[in-house]
Structure 1
Amino acid sequence: MGVCFSTIKVSGSNSNNNVNHNRKEATKQQTKTTKATAPTRKKQEVVDHQQNNKNVNNEEEKKLKVKEKQGSKAIPCGKRTDFGYDKDFGMRYTIGKLLGHGQFGYTYVATDKANGDRVAVKRIEKNKMILPIAVEDVKREVKILRELTGHENVVQFYNALEDDSYVYIVMELCEGGELLDRILSKKDSRYTEKDAAVVVRQMLKVAAQCHLHGLVHRDMKPENFLFKSTKEDTPLKATDFGLSDFIKPGRKFQDIVGSAYYVAPEVLKRKSGPESDVWSIGVITYILLCGRRPFWDKTEDGIFKEVLKNKPDFRRKPWPTISTSARDFVNKLLVKDPRARLTAAQALSHPWVREGGSASEIPIDISVLSNMRQFVKYSRLKQFALRALASTINEEELADLKDQFDAIDVDKNGAISLEEMRQVVFSLSNL
């Protein structure tokens, strides 16, 4: 219409008629255009309406998925699981002082209300069992303790109970202290090869019993062995079967578990079996005889390289004063090829470790206890630091870390390999 008015003004004649004519033509054209585009507009409005509905539905679906995800996070797998254990813990036991704690639970002294006996209770929080695998770990630990109950060198299992918040594993109370603490507490500092052999024999008996049941302990270390009482002839008891698992003949474990100092070469190669327990006992024996670790570095990766490549040092003091039989025993346990390593049953027959065997009763060099004391202090400091770090992380942050770990752990074997970490670094560098 602007163009029409401009033309009219320029022509100067019959202006009104021209204006009216042009207005009529414009009106006709507009009406025609409107009639032609009405169905198209209507159709477009329907499409737009459908698209809007689709967007709304997509948003609703997204919100629903987020709610479902949040709901599943809010209720961990352990909280939703009925373990099938007795539900009357509070009626049967009274919890006392704290003994120690791990990743999922705390261990307390408790009293049996029926007879007044003192027991140890491992209380595991259901809220911390986020994934089904955590639930299976608890069930497996209870099953293993039931299988091994009755063995003189395994902590006795009494009962498993539960309530809405916790699973309770009731066990024999061992009040004689940890293995290395007991050795270091000797008042006259009289510590001999025979003392070490008595301890090692009991550990081998546990390993042999586990292997007989198709079990691998997978975390043999001094901290997991406690003395029953403070008496001189009290038995040594194996505890903490949280990493233990059943293994079928001819099969191998592919996950890397255990403590860095005691881990066997085949564990690092993801092809481990019962032989790894014997390696760990070999490492403990080495420490018992000289007070130092056979494989050491400032980092875990460094320790792993030492385990895979190097041999233990038998030249440094006090090894020249240790008996040939003791050195031979340790050498046969710390064989890198698990097929050439002694089994637990074979090791029990070695002259140095067997009852009435060749282990010397002459006191070991005083430097051994000094070395051992430094080793224990370092281990305790490391444990304290890790616990202090863990105590600063709340449940939400812990769950977030768990999610991040699961995202990096592509093969879902419970450990992050060097290759998996490389992939993460590569992905981040490309952002």
Structure 2
Amino acid sequence: MKPENFHFKSQNEDSPLKATDFGLLDFIKLGKKFTDIIGSAYYVAPEGGIFREVLRNRPDFRHKPWPTVSDSAKDFIRKLLVKNPLARLTAAQALSYPWVRVNGNASLIPLDISVLSNMRHFVTYSRLKQFALRALASTLDEEEISDLKDQFHAIDIDKSGAISLEEMRQALAKDIPWKMKESCVSDILPAIDSNTERLVDFTEFVAATLHIYQLEEHNNEKWQKISKAAIEKFDVDKDGYITAEELKMEADIDKDGKISLSEFRSLLRTASRS
């Protein structure tokens, strides 16, 4: 993908944009990893290189950030240039980013396959991991979950503020690569629905769809604070550890009978590898 492969059909102001040059197009089988380096060096992943050129009108990585570019645009580039793909913005998240969304339309935001994938994996987690993610979700502010709010609204078709089984079924049916069976769809909603109302509210949805690696990569200082706030929801005596017997078998990595803050953070990371 590179800017010069996109062309306007005409010189009209409302001309559609056309993608061209599919010489390196290939079919990718689910689960198979490709390692060949192909394409133009300026535009290999991470994808922030394309956006950087759009702003500068030429590829140039030798100079310092430009004083005339907004902080929001710079932050957008920074998050697209993250080397770890687990911590990098997805395509749908990029479209939800505030700098892109100015005067935008929420209906244009597509369902994010990574969000649907996270929901599929959530049902396989232990109760501790699910509780830990719910605790973490309750500590996040609006900015950190703005993209998930777009995804929630896209699935909540009737705009009731909660996702029903039928709405969940319709969303997961769009997760084409996984070809999800009906029985699996029926298992997901009860796992996410912590209050057994057969409806998923926004907080429950956030817990099941969080991108933990992104939270840690984009603002490590904030990650330290919110993960500490999350463990404190379990740590009743405020001694810095979770000591309940039913929890230590799941997350007590060094087998000392206690779950430390670092072990709690490791537990959260294992719940975000989709």
TM over 0.5: no
Larger radius of gyration between Structure 1 and Structure 2 = 1
RCO higher in 1 or 2 (8 Å CA, sep ≥ 6)?
2
The structure carrying a bigger strand percent of its residues is 1
Provide TM-score, normalisation by structure 2: 0.35
